[in-house]
């Protein structure tokens, strides 16, 4: 039991009188603590992610201090967010690890970002062995909270980060974050969650008109333009639009009935959940079921690496080379626009794949 004392005054006297509470300047309370037995048998000496959860004012922040002190993050207003990391690869990995995949925002200073983007940026710089993070997802909406939790969990597992402890007032992230242990400040118990399974995400993909691009175009990191003759699909989760994909014919003198990816976008609040790669798979499957061949190029490293390791995709002869053909493989672009893109992306490594599905024989 802990005892604290204050100097009584007119205000404390009036409040204690109104609520009929005897008060002489001293109050007692029992601070939260994790028992030595729970630390040894449930938490252990090493874990990936630990989570302290409970309502505001329940003692989460005090308990969090038993595991360390939260790092204070400072930002230079004259530098881009991505410039605060070791190098470009480190920036890409860490920002993506918290579901922050909006490339133009990476190139902006911290103070102009949205609240959600600032939260993710701070988090990206704090992640390391033994870090403690308070108010996890408290300032963002629940979609961002879920996507950030999933992305963070994957990054911690991939990098082998140890003894990260988070505190939050939101119970709804537990199944998405998949922590190794959870301490609930309400029940004052700690439970192992090492076998907890993440919920499945069921996304519906339906055809739509090219007009649906309007709600997604500002989130495409290269261009907001779209071919008006595109075949388009929209992806929804629980009835809410989350992604968009479109395709155009693939001009070729040797391939018949072939199509290629044109635009694919997942809204920022839903990035990090794996929706983008599943959406691209779904579009490929649609074309296979129609007896068509489907090809797709991307310079996005995460999407490209997914396809490199997926049995559903096969690299083409142009896989992982620069984009010298960028200006000439789309007859629907005007020449000036194509040359502009060529100059910007001619030295950029590009992943190029054909979707083949789960076939026993990958020969096409």
Q: Is the dihedral of CA 329, 284, 92, 75 positive or negative?
A: positive
For 34-192, CATH gives 3.40.50.300
Whole-Å CA distances, 100 to 46, 141, 150, 221, 290:
28, 14, 12, 13, 35
Q: What whole-number percentage of the chain has pLDDT above 90? A: 60
Region of 251 please: left (phi>0), alpha (psi -120 to 50) or beta: beta
Fold of 203-355: Aminopeptidase (3.40.630)
In the predicted structure, residue 6 carries a pLDDT above the cut 50? yes
In the predicted structure, residue 163 carries a pLDDT above the cut 60? yes
245-286 pLDDT per residue, tens: 999 998 766 788 899 999 999 998 888 888 999 999 999 999
The DSSP letter of residue 97 is: T
Give the C-alpha separation, 345 to 327, whole Å: 10
Whole-Å CA distances, 201 to 149, 177, 262:
14, 14, 24
Give the C-alpha separation, 2 to 24, whole Å: 16
Model confidence band, residue 335 (pLDDT cutoffs 50, 70, 90): very low
Model confidence band, residue 200 (pLDDT cutoffs 50, 70, 90): confident
Q: Which of 73, 61, 66 is nearest to 167 (CA)?
A: 61
Q: Where are the domains of the chain?
A: 1-30, 34-192, 203-355
**Per-residue model confidence (pLDDT) at position 343:** 47
In the predicted structure, residue 360 carries a pLDDT above the cut 80? no
Model confidence band, residue 342 (pLDDT cutoffs 50, 70, 90): very low
Q: What whole-number percentage of the chain has pLDDT above 70? A: 90
């Amino acid at each position: 039991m802990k005892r604290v004392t204050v100097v009584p005054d007119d205000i404390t006297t009036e409040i204690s009188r109104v609520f009929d509470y005897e008060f002489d300047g001293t109050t007692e309370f029992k601070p939260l603590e994790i028992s030595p037995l729970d630390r040894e048998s449930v938490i252990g000496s090493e874990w990936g992610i630990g989570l302290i959860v409970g309502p505001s004012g329940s003692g989460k922040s005090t308990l969090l201090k038993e595991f360390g002190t939260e790092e204070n993050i400072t930002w230079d207003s004259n530098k881009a967010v991505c410039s605060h990391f070791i190098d470009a690869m480190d920036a890409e990995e860490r920002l993506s690890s918290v579901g922050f995949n909006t490339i133009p925002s990476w190139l902006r200073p911290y103070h102009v970002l949205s609240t959600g983007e600032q939260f993710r940026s701070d988090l990206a710089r704090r992640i390391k062995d033994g870090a403690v993070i308070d108010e996890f997802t408290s300032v963002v909406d629940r979609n961002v909270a879920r996507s950030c939790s999933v992305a963070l969990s994957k990054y911690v597992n991939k990098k082998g980060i140890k003894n990260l402890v988070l505190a939050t007032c939101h119970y709804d992230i537990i199944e998405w974050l998949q922590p190794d242990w959870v301490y609930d400040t309400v029940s004052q118990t700690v439970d192992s969650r090492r076998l907890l399974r993440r919920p499945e995400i069921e996304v519906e993909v339906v055809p739509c008109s090219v007009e649906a691009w309007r709600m997604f175009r500002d989130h495409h990191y290269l261009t907001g333009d779209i071919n008006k003759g595109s075949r388009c699909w929209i992806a929804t989760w629980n009835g809410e639009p989350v992604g968009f994909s479109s395709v155009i014919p693939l001009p070729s003198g040797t391939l018949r009935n072939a199509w290629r990816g044109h635009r694919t976008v997942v809204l920022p609040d839903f990035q990090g959940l794996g929706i983008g790669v599943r959406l691209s798979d779904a579009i490929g499957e649609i074309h296979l079921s129609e007896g068509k061949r489907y090809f797709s190029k991307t310079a996005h490293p995460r999407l490209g690496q997914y396809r490199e390791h997926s049995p559903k995709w096969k690299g083409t002869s142009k896989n992982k080379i620069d984009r010298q053909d960028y200006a000439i493989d789309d007859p629907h672009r005007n020449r000036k626009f194509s040359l502009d893109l060529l100059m910007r992306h001619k030295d950029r490594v590009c992943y190029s794949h054909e979707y083949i599905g789960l076939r026993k024989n990958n020969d096409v």
